[in-house]
A and B are shown apart, each in its own frame.
Chain A
């Protein structure tokens, strides 16, 4: 039987979750200026236009819950859903997504098939790397590459409450083309939600580099430096992540695993462990059924269960109500693509590293980049590293309140 994320969390998630994450306090305020996240870009319609790129593993989980949040939020104009292999294979994700839209009565939202494979990574090599270098102790999830994960063309029947495949169909166009076309038609207006591996986005900017300055904000989930540095959405396709993180986006926001681990569906943050009971009781179908079957029942069987961290829900929150996040920092970020033990690792550097008292500097001297003051430390990024807005703190209660409100309000109609 396939190991699900939820089962994984039952076994080792609790140990991870008990780690208290304190964002590193700034040693020197001038070195690490804290920035308040910007409000959502102004829209003529008052709604924020969003392309939702996701590895939607069903029947329930962080991918599905974030999808429901975006469908339920009144201030979101969901231009399209694009799918990418990650937590599951793209075709299976497509089956879940189309049927979810039918059940939610939102069949007007177009769904686009995206990358079926990462740029370079393969299941066989991943398994060989694990054996050669050791497995990932903290996040052994391999998504579509799980040993029992099946093949790219294998579409399993959908369990209740999905029950059957959708009647509606996906669009013909590729996700990357849809992204490029939509951003060009709405310059400065389309926020990109990227909840899975960044393959589609990497393809879009390789085909259409001109869209980069036209996107007001990209929000992704992945990377980290305290809980662990190697996170699934990145190490599933490190080359795509590197390409996307290095592009000069006007604003690139990261939900790291550090901040995602702060909130779980089943923890004691208001409204507490009873949250899923409350949602199941107060929400309408199909949300009520989903919570009853995949959250309430499992917790009834195992009262000690830890449900998964609310990772993708935080991307949705940053787009729906960015004020929930109370602190962020702009940092340099890069991804290791050397296929060794650190394949997919994320690395961060201070934006104004040169202000640190012991920092060396690189200067151009006779056409050679020379590191001066060799007795001191070089604290800067590698060439071509990208700049990202790393979310550091959030209002836990407000985040959960937003989540409960969106899940329990009447099902939003097209």
Chain B
């Protein structure tokens, strides 16, 4: 699969990624699938965390349209790898469109039913009114300054996911920080990867703060496929971990002064990114509400799962009706039969709901320490 794009390597320039070529004993193999919004966002911070963590073997970065169009995200991801001196990490440009959702319909639903009423949950990402087209490529601001010289791989993200999980059965953690479009395509192509994936971690949905979030309602069908994967064949994901908006809202980027610490102590380009895109905007507008840290929480779970004090076993399913509830998440307690005693009603899940572990009880101090430490430690460049 080689979608023509000026971001992709031409076959003559393409050298196969040195996947698994480095001895990575004891390291956790991770495929990092992300709607990689630049210049700095929860997506970028999580990327930096995984690049900086010693115990992570980053097999590849996949992009997917949501926060931005995949092409622009890919440009940011490639250049960030150059700035971080990690050009050996292969980047795969993934789905440029959701499976079915379209900008026209997202905008029409908005007119008919209004936005989701809570805070950031009206966000439409690249389907927002003024978000530009899928082939637009804006110049990268400082410290990126220019487009990368390294190129994305010619393979699609879905093919890469299938190939890599099959080559490393039981060993690969799938980090899904954007819509699950790439993962859905992968499991449709190859249902056999589901039981041999070590763990999927996804950010999206919620119970109290909001009944959904953009990673789900941007591509509700993909989320439904992702959560339910394998069940029709009789074996679901061995482990599917979820960061909900409820959990993510507990920590924001500007809490605890960590931005100032990072700007003071971090190295290029991390210090520059946080100075330019967190510290300066916050000083210019002290009332600014900085974003929650959902993707950083996923990264924290991958790097050091003990930061979370536990999880709730739950069932989850997705509404795909093309109306105001498109992409809503529904949750049920896994032990609904044991709850409520004689007053328990018929509180069970839908016929094909997926089973997930909903993270809870984050240790905020340790999370802050881990994040600050990863951002400020020396950058180990493999090149330059």
Where the two chains meet, the residues of A that have a C-beta atom closer than 8 Å to any C-beta of B are 115-117, 119-120, 122-125, 128, 152, 174, 176-177, 180-181, 184, 199, 202-203, 206-210, 239, 242-243, 246, 337-340, 367-369, 382-384
Chain B residues lying within 8 Å of A209, measured Cβ to Cβ, are 3, 96-97
Chain B residues lying within 8 Å of A152, measured Cβ to Cβ, are 232-233
Bound-state Cα–Cα, A174 to B181, Å = 18
Stretch at the interface among B15-23, B102-110, B289-297: B102-110
B221 at the interface (CB under 8 A from A): yes
Q: Which residue of B lies closest to A368 (CB)?
A: B111
Q: Is the CB of A242 within 8 A of B100?
A: yes
Chain B residues lying within 8 Å of A176, measured Cβ to Cβ, are 189
Q: Closest 8 CB pairs between A and B? A: A383-B104, A384-B102, A338-B321, A124-B351, A117-B232, A210-B3, A207-B156, A208-B1
Q: Which residue of B lies closest to A206 (CB)?
A: B185
Q: Is the CB of A338 within 8 A of B323?
A: yes
B4 at the interface (CB under 8 A from A): yes
Bound-state Cα–Cα, A142 to B233, Å = 18
Q: Is the CB of A119 within 8 A of B225?
A: yes
Bound-state Cα–Cα, A124 to B191, Å = 19
Chain A residues lying within 8 Å of B351, measured Cβ to Cβ, are 122, 124-125, 128
Bound-state Cα–Cα, A338 to B105, Å = 14
B380 at the interface (CB under 8 A from A): no
Q: Using known A-B contacts A207-B185, A369-B108, determine if residue A177 contacts B102 with beta carbons closer than 8 Å.
A: no
Q: How far apart are A114's CB and chain B's nearest CB, in angstroms?
A: 9
Chain A residues lying within 8 Å of B102, measured Cβ to Cβ, are 246, 383-384
Greatest chain A CB density within 10 A among B1, B95, B158, B181 is at B1
**In the complex, which of the residues B4, B105, B159, B320 contacts A384, with contact meaning CB atoms closer than 8 Å?**
B105
Q: Is the CB of A207 within 8 A of B158?
A: yes
Q: Is the CB of B3 within 8 A of A243?
A: no
Q: Using known A-B contacts A338-B321, A338-B323, determine if residue A207 contacts B1 with beta carbons closer than 8 Å.
A: yes
Q: Is the CB of B221 within 8 A of A120?
A: yes
Bound-state Cα–Cα, A70 to B223, Å = 38
Bound-state Cα–Cα, A181 to B363, Å = 49
Chain B residues lying within 8 Å of A177, measured Cβ to Cβ, are 1, 159, 189
Bound-state Cα–Cα, A368 to B95, Å = 28
Bound-state Cα–Cα, A152 to B232, Å = 9
Chain A residues lying within 8 Å of B97, measured Cβ to Cβ, are 206, 209
Bound-state Cα–Cα, A65 to B241, Å = 48
Q: Is the CB of B99 within 8 A of A206?
A: yes
Q: How far apart are A100's CB and chain B's nearest CB, in angstroms?
A: 26
B115 at the interface (CB under 8 A from A): no
Q: Is the CB of B352 within 8 A of A122?
A: yes
Q: Using known A-B contacts A207-B159, A339-B321, determine if residue A119 contacts B188 with beta carbons closer than 8 Å.
A: yes
Bound-state Cα–Cα, A340 to B323, Å = 12
Chain A residues lying within 8 Å of B149, measured Cβ to Cβ, are none
Q: Is the CB of B99 within 8 A of A243?
A: yes
Bound-state Cα–Cα, A206 to B102, Å = 13
Greatest chain A CB density within 10 A among B108, B232, B321, B323 is at B232
Bound-state Cα–Cα, A122 to B229, Å = 12
Chain B residues lying within 8 Å of A340, measured Cβ to Cβ, are 321
Listed by A's residue number, 18 A-B pairs whose Cβ atoms lie within 8 Å are A119-B99, A120-B225, A122-B232, A177-B1, A177-B159, A177-B189, A203-B185, A207-B158, A207-B189, A209-B3, A209-B96, A239-B99, A239-B100, A338-B321, A338-B322, A339-B320, A383-B102, A384-B105
Q: Is the CB of B185 within 8 A of A384?
A: no
Report the interface size for chain B: residues with CB under 8 A from the other chain. 37
Chain B residues lying within 8 Å of A338, measured Cβ to Cβ, are 320-323
Q: Is the CB of A367 within 8 A of B3?
A: no
Q: Is the CB of B99 within 8 A of A337?
A: no
Chain B residues lying within 8 Å of A119, measured Cβ to Cβ, are 99, 188, 221, 225
Q: Is the CB of A117 within 8 A of B111?
A: no
Q: Is the CB of A117 within 8 A of B99?
A: no
Q: How far apart are A147's CB and chain B's nearest CB, in angstroms?
A: 16
B146 at the interface (CB under 8 A from A): no
Q: How far apart are A371's CB and chain B's nearest CB, in angstroms?
A: 11
Chain B residues lying within 8 Å of A243, measured Cβ to Cβ, are 99-100
Besides A124-B351, A125-B352, A203-B189, 18 more A-B contacts (Cβ < 8 Å) are A115-B188, A119-B225, A120-B320, A122-B351, A177-B1, A202-B99, A206-B97, A206-B99, A206-B181, A207-B159, A207-B189, A209-B96, A239-B320, A337-B322, A367-B129, A369-B111, A384-B104, A384-B105
Bound-state Cα–Cα, A209 to B156, Å = 11
B306 at the interface (CB under 8 A from A): no
Bound-state Cα–Cα, A152 to B352, Å = 17
Bound-state Cα–Cα, A246 to B105, Å = 13
Bound-state Cα–Cα, A367 to B107, Å = 11
Chain B residues lying within 8 Å of A367, measured Cβ to Cβ, are 129
B190 at the interface (CB under 8 A from A): yes
Q: Which residue of A lies closest to B231 (CB)?
A: A122
Chain B residues lying within 8 Å of A242, measured Cβ to Cβ, are 100
Q: How far apart are B382's CB and chain A's nearest CB, in angstroms?
A: 31
Q: Is the CB of A116 within 8 A of B1?
A: no
Q: How far apart are A216's CB and chain B's nearest CB, in angstroms?
A: 19
B120 at the interface (CB under 8 A from A): no
Chain B residues lying within 8 Å of A207, measured Cβ to Cβ, are 1, 156, 158-159, 185, 189
Q: Is the CB of B221 within 8 A of A116?
A: no
B36 at the interface (CB under 8 A from A): no
B71 at the interface (CB under 8 A from A): no
Bound-state Cα–Cα, A203 to B2, Å = 15
Within 8 A of A (CB), among B59-118: 95-97, 99-100, 102, 104-105, 107-108, 111
Chain A residues lying within 8 Å of B225, measured Cβ to Cβ, are 119-120
Q: How far apart are A259's CB and chain B's nearest CB, in angstroms?
A: 27
Bound-state Cα–Cα, A152 to B3, Å = 32
B151 at the interface (CB under 8 A from A): no
Q: Which residue of A lies closest to B98 (CB)?
A: A206
Q: Is the CB of A210 within 8 A of B4?
A: yes
Q: Using known A-B contacts A122-B352, A206-B95, A339-B321, determine if residue A383 contacts B188 with beta carbons closer than 8 Å.
A: no
Q: Is the CB of A383 within 8 A of B100?
A: no
Bound-state Cα–Cα, A383 to B158, Å = 28
Bound-state Cα–Cα, A117 to B352, Å = 14
Bound-state Cα–Cα, A258 to B224, Å = 33
Q: How far apart are A97's CB and chain B's nearest CB, in angstroms?
A: 20
Q: Which residue of B lies closest to A202 (CB)?
A: B99
Chain B residues lying within 8 Å of A199, measured Cβ to Cβ, are 188
Chain B residues lying within 8 Å of A208, measured Cβ to Cβ, are 1, 3, 156
Bound-state Cα–Cα, A116 to B107, Å = 34
Q: Mark B144-162, 1 if CB is under 8 A from A, else 0.
A: 0000000000001011000
Chain A residues lying within 8 Å of B1, measured Cβ to Cβ, are 177, 180-181, 207-208
Chain A residues lying within 8 Å of B224, measured Cβ to Cβ, are 120
Q: How far apart are A184's CB and chain B's nearest CB, in angstroms?
A: 7
Chain A residues lying within 8 Å of B111, measured Cβ to Cβ, are 368-369
Chain B residues lying within 8 Å of A123, measured Cβ to Cβ, are 232
Q: Using known A-B contacts A125-B352, A239-B99, determine if residue A116 contacts B159 with beta carbons closer than 8 Å.
A: no
**In the complex, which of the residues B129, B181, B221 contacts A239, with contact meaning CB atoms closer than 8 Å?**
B221
